[in-house]
Structure 1
Amino acid sequence: MVADSKSKPDISLAGTFACSAFAACFAEICTIPLDTAKVRLQLQKKAVAGDAVALPKYRGMLGTVATIAREEGVSALWKGIVPGLHRQCLFGGLRIGMYEPVRNFYVGDNFVGDVPLSKKILAGLTTGALAIIVANPTDLVKVRLQAEGKLAPGVPRRYSGALNAYSTIVRQEGVGALWTGLGPNIARNAIINAAELASYDQVKQTILKIPGFTDNVFTHLLSGLGAGFFAVCVGSPVDVVKSRMMGDSAYKSTLDCFIKTLKNDGPLAFYKGFIPNFGRLGSWNVIMFLTLEQAKKFVKSIESS
């Protein structure tokens, strides 16, 4: 990842973008089953049968994964992987690759010493917001594909695949529909990006001050888990609103979705899917940061040769 003090980048901007996109895509492939479970849990609403509340179809992370695999096949857990990779190439590459240049811009050319946490957070907010504005269509298609469960016999699927989903949404809902949920998505991804990147640096810095710890794979693993946990705690409410808006066109606005979710499902609904969300983001961060650091070492060796 990045050092605490401002320094000249080890590799080119293009190399940083490529490493970031590759690391994000690899983490996406490894963890998307947990993301699919998270989306299903977030979209699940209270079902009322008579006067009693019916038991929910999906219960817990492992239960949701098992239900999806049993009813729809194991491959259904990777629904949305194509737009997911589209998203990570754009979003992951931009938000991570641009983090250091933007952070250095905020502290100024003449800055010397450790970069303040406030500047790290501001840089994370900026790159997260800018990146998701570009990548929102890919996020929308990914959620739409993940949200579609097992259909009754003879009922056609809403979309036959990622490319069909893009074209169908544009044809039926207009080009602007590809940016549905942009408001909560900007909020979610800016906040989570800042939480991930800034907290990774801070957790890593704190761990390295403990006697016996060095800058190795174990330290990166702990730092990645810490970053993922903090990101989920902060970003879960906007993540739920984002998923519901993208998965259901009945909501008029971000505020409308927030109010209806609060009214119909209660405040705890904003932390629906917390465990799978942490399982997803925690493992995603560990895999991404470990892959990123190794990829940057590889690219540095190529560029310096």
Structure 2
Amino acid sequence: MVAGGNSKSDISFAGTFASSAFSACFAEVCTIPLDTAKVRLQLQKQAAAGDAVTLPKYKGMMGTVATIAREGLSALWKGIVPGLHRQCLYGGLRIGLYEPVKNFYVGRDHVGDVPLLQKILAAFTTGAVAIAVANPTDLVKVRLQAEGKLPAGVPRRYTGSLNAYSTIVRQEGVGALWTGIGPNIARNAIINAAELASYDQVKQTILKIPGFTDNVVTHLLAGLGAGFFAVCIGSPVDVVKSRMMGDSSYKSTLDCFIKTLKNDGPAAFYKGFIPNFGRLGSWNVIMFLTLEQTKKFVKSLESA
């Protein structure tokens, strides 16, 4: 990530794509248990009237992680295969395209720091394009994560990620792989804008403070800032996206939003906020730290 002026990337697009995909996949492996907890919390609905005695299955981030772990530790990494599929496509494209798109928006002759608005527009654009390509992987990941421990004798809907892709196409049609594409584009474009633009802006600001250099501490602080802004801004659309992908009864994005608001109240849109921040905060720190180091390594290879 380049913080500051309109400079060309110091490595090739292929190098940036590979670095981004690798960094995103590494962060995914490290943090997917928190993502699984977040999805379960977001899909959990309040008991209907007359069922007040029914206690929620999941409570809090650590409680949810512990409950899922009782299904078997592997349950915490459910959806990791499509998650890696997703990060290879989505992570590689959204970050790999960010610098070229940002430079396109400010113009070839721009000199000096890139305005925050152009950073936001560039990240919004690359987030939308990337998830439009990667939506099927996101759908399969959410559906695998949503399945809890089933009673004895009850078969699972899917035996694995590849089976999930084929089953969805066979039973629901090819178009079903893009279920939830509306809220998913909204969610990922918004979160990508929050993550990349805030990382870029925070890093640029920190580097202007005397004593700070382009090192691990700067990358750590910028990554935490990116995760915080992403969760605050993107949580409502993230909840709608998870519910639409996990439950096919919703007719549209608006229908899901209205039913969630009516049945569960406004607080439902920030359900799983703590695990979401735990996930996105740690994910961004790991991803950006890995990305910065990987890009240095790739640059040395390309310069050799």
TM-score of the superposition, structure 1-length normalised? 0.98
Measure how far apart 1:216 and its partner are: 1.4
Structure 2 partner of 1:78? 77
Cross-structure match for 2:218: 219
Looking at structure 1, the residues matched to 53 and 267 of structure 2 have their Cα atoms a distance apart, in angstroms, of: 16
Corresponding position of 2:287? 288
Structure 2 counterparts to residues 163-242 of structure 1, below 5 A: 163-242=162-241
Query: Is the 1:207–1:213 contact (alpha carbons within 8 Å) kept by the matching residues of 2?
Result: yes
Please name the residue that 2:122 is paired with. 123
**Greater mean deviation of Cα atoms: 199-208 or 270-279:** 199-208
| Pairing of 1:261-276 with structure 2 (within 5 A) | 261-276=260-275
Q: Is the Cα contact below 8 Å between 2:3 and 2:201 reproduced in 1?
A: no
Give percent identity, aligned residues only. Answer: 87
Distance 1:69 1:49, change over 3 A: farther
The answer to whether the 8 A contact 2:3-2:204 is kept is: no
Deviates further, 102-111 or 264-273: 102-111
Letter aligned with residue 10 of structure 1: D
Verify the 8 A CA contact 2:3 2:203 in the aligned structure 1: no
Per the alignment, residue 29 of structure 2 pairs with 29
Counterpart for residue 55 of structure 1: 55
Which amino acid is the alignment partner of residue 112 of structure 1?
V
Secondary structure class of the residue paired with 1:146: helix
Cα distance per residue 1:249-305 (max 9 Å; x no partner) = 000000000000000000000000000000000000000001101110001001001
Deviation at 1:219, TM superposition (A): 1.4
Q: How far apart, CA to CA, are the structure 1 residues paired with 2:105 and 2:212?
A: 31
Q: 2:57 matched to 1:38? A: no
- Matched AA of 2:245: M
Q: How does 1:88-127 map to 2 (within 5 A)?
A: 88-127=87-126
Cα 1:281–1:231 shift into 2, 3 Å: same
Quote the Cα distance in structure 2 between the aligned partners of 1:291 and 1:51: 47
Shift of 1:112: 1.2
* Runs of at least 5 residues in structure 1 that lack an aligned partner in the other structure: none
The match for 1:151 is 150
Measured after TM superposition, the shift of residue 215 of structure 1 is: 2.0
Equivalent pair of 1:6/1:115 in contact (CA under 8 Å) = yes
Two-structure CA RMSD over aligned residues (Å): 1.0
- 3-state SS in 1 of match to 2:122: helix
TM-score by length of 2: 0.98
The number of residue pairs the alignment matches comes to 304
Q: SS of the counterpart of 1:155? A: coil
The one-letter code of the counterpart of 2:76 is L
Equivalent residue of 1:138, what SS? helix
Give the AA of the match of 2:55.
L
Shift of 1:2: 1.4
CA contact (8 A) 1:125 1:193 kept: yes
Q: Which amino acid aligns with 1:135?
A: A
Q: For the Cα contact (< 8 Å) 1:46–1:54, is it kept in 2?
A: no
